[in-house]
């Protein structure tokens, strides 16, 4: 009888252990599934692309980089469809767009956000559903997604460093920023301020917010130039060409100018070097879009991936204008960004990229 009681107790204990083991395995499976983002080794996968700001050449080329990379030889068998939604600077609309992609069965969603926090909730919802989320170009504060950006702190720093050295560490400069509150703008300002501490005789005569709009930027630069004749140099968040235009319109002598690697500014640097224009373009590749897609596909295939990837900017100056030969493409118009690929992440051809650009 005593033996029978012990036997029943052992059986009950074994049952409890078995039930606990089943629950633990189930919990582990759910956690592992979410962290592995519902990995399927072969694809093909549906990719969502949710963009905030649009209507400028940089963002258009970023979207083209995603499409071209999806069609490139290593990836075309892995991607069945790319869903693109353009929200503008409207977080509510972008949240709705992302939820729509979730309902359409997107396996991965690439996001260029309007600010560091507005999309955190919907990003975390997507990740919880096993979707791979890659935030690109501008980082968010959520720890849930993978993220990739052109290193915007260094973008600000290397441009200011170049300008300060051209001015021998002294003078009055103007900072032309983008959109207040945008992550890239905030990070660039951080890099600028870090470098300015090294040059106490370099003074910021004023800051202008261009909204990353060439028309708005030119108007505000021209107005500032008229009111402040003693400017020794300009750092711009991609509006170097508009500084050149403002000086031409005012018939003023050029001063050292930092801009981005757009066709318009690079052509000015090349063509007007003999007229005294000295400047530098800091690369900010829209091909960060192709890097975001490659990271998403890497994760979907079950490979390890760093949570944050930063692409380092380069400085292309015209101190010797031959430095710019072959770096820009006049036929593609003023808004095309010359750094059209990122080595290691961009597998498409130049023609695959350019066949998309300018087609809307």
Q: What integer pLDDT is reported at residue 100 of this predicted model? A: 97
Q: Give exposure, 253-287, as e/b (b: 16+ Cβ within 10 Å).
A: ebbbbbbbbbbbbbbbbbebbeeebbbbbbbbbbb
Nearest to 153 by CA among 120, 182, 193: 193
Q: What is the pLDDT of residue 3?
A: 37
Residue 40 has which token pair?
Answer: 């399927």
**Confidence check: pLDDT of 360 > 90:** no
Query: Mean per-residue pLDDT for 143-151?
Result: 96
pLDDT digit string, tens, across residues 60-92: 999 999 999 999 988 999 999 999 999 988 999
Question: In the numeric block, which tokens belong to residue 352?
Answer: 């695959």
φ, ψ of residue 57 in degrees (nearest 5): -65, -35
Is the predicted pLDDT of residue 25 greater than 60, yes or no? no
The pLDDT mean for the chain works out to: 88
- Is residue 201 over pLDDT 60? yes
Whether the predicted pLDDT of 11 surpasses 70: no
- Tell me what pLDDT residue 96 has: 97
> Residue 19: which pLDDT band, with cuts at 50, 70 and 90?
very low
What's the maximum distance between 2 C-alpha atoms anywhere in the chain? 110
Split at pLDDT 50, 70, 90, the class of 38 is very low
Smallest CA-to-CA distance from 63 within 103, 99, 108, 111 is with 111
What pLDDT digit, counting tens, does each position of 229-276 carry?
899 999 999 899 999 999 999 999 999 999 999 999 999 999 999 999
pLDDT at 282: 97
- pLDDT of 12 > 90? The answer is no
Q: pLDDT band for 358, please (50, 70, 90 cuts).
A: low
Please return the burial class of 22, using the count of CB atoms within 10 Å of its CB with bins 0-12, 13-18 and 19+: exposed
CA 358 to centroid of chain Cα atoms: 20
pLDDT at 41: 52
Question: Is the pLDDT confidence value at 13 over 80?
Answer: no
| Alpha carbon 105 to chain centroid, angstroms | 24
CATH node for 152-282 = 3.40.50.2300
Q: If you average pLDDT over residues 28-46, what whole number do you get?
A: 52
Edge-to-edge strand list for the sheet holding 279-282: 202-209, 171-177, 233-236, 257-260, 279-282, 315-317
Closest CA to 150 of 354, 325, 342: 342
Please report how many Cα atoms fall inside a 13 Å half-sphere around the Cα of residue 29, on the Cβ side: 6
Please give the pLDDT value at position 329.
Answer: 92
Query: Would you kindly state where each structural domain of the chain is located, as residue ranges?
Result: 152-282
Answer yes or no: are the C-beta atoms of 261 and 155 closer than 8 Å. no
């Amino acid at each position: 009888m005593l033996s029978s009681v012990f036997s029943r107790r052992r059986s009950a204990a074994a049952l409890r252990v078995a039930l606990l083991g089943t629950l633990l395995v189930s919990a582990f499976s759910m956690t592992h599934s979410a962290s592995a983002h519902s990995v399927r080794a072969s694809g093909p996968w549906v990719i969502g692309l949710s963009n905030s700001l649009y209507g400028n050449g940089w963002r258009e080329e970023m979207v083209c980089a995603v499409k071209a990379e999806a069609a490139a030889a290593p990836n075309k068998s892995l991607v069945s469809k790319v869903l693109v939604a353009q929200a503008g600077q409207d977080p509510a609309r972008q949240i709705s767009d992302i939820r729509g992609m979730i309902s359409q069965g997107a396996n991965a969603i690439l996001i260029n956000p309007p600010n560091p926090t507005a999309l955190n909730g919907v990003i975390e919802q997507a990740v919880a559903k096993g979707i791979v989320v890659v935030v690109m170009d501008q980082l968010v504060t959520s720890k849930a997604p993978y993220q990739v950006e052109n290193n915007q702190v260094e973008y600000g720093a290397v441009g200011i460093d170049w300008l300060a050295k051209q001015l021998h560490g002294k003078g009055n400069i103007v900072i032309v920023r983008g959109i207040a509150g945008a992550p890239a703008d905030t990070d660039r300002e951080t890099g600028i301020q870090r470098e300015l501490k090294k040059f106490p005789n370099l003074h910021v005569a004023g800051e202008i917010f261009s909204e990353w709009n060439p028309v708005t930027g030119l108007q505000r630069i021209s107005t500032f130039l008229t009111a402040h004749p003693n400017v020794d140099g300009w750092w711009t968040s991609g509006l170097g060409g508009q500084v050149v235009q403002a000086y031409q319109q005012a018939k003023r002598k050029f001063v050292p100018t930092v801009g981005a690697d757009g066709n318009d500014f690079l052509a000015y640097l090349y063509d007007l070097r003999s007229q005294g224009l000295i400047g530098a373009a800091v690369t900010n590749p829209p091909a960060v879009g192709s890097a975001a897609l490659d990271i998403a596909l890497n994760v979907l295939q079950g490979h390890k991936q760093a949570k944050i990837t930063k692409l380092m900017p380069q400085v292309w100056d015209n101190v010797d204008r031959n430095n710019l030969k072959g770096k820009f493409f006049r036929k593609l118009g003023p808004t095309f960004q010359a750094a059209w690929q990122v080595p290691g992440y961009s597998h498409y051809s130049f023609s695959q990229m350019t066949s998309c650009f300018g087609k809307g």
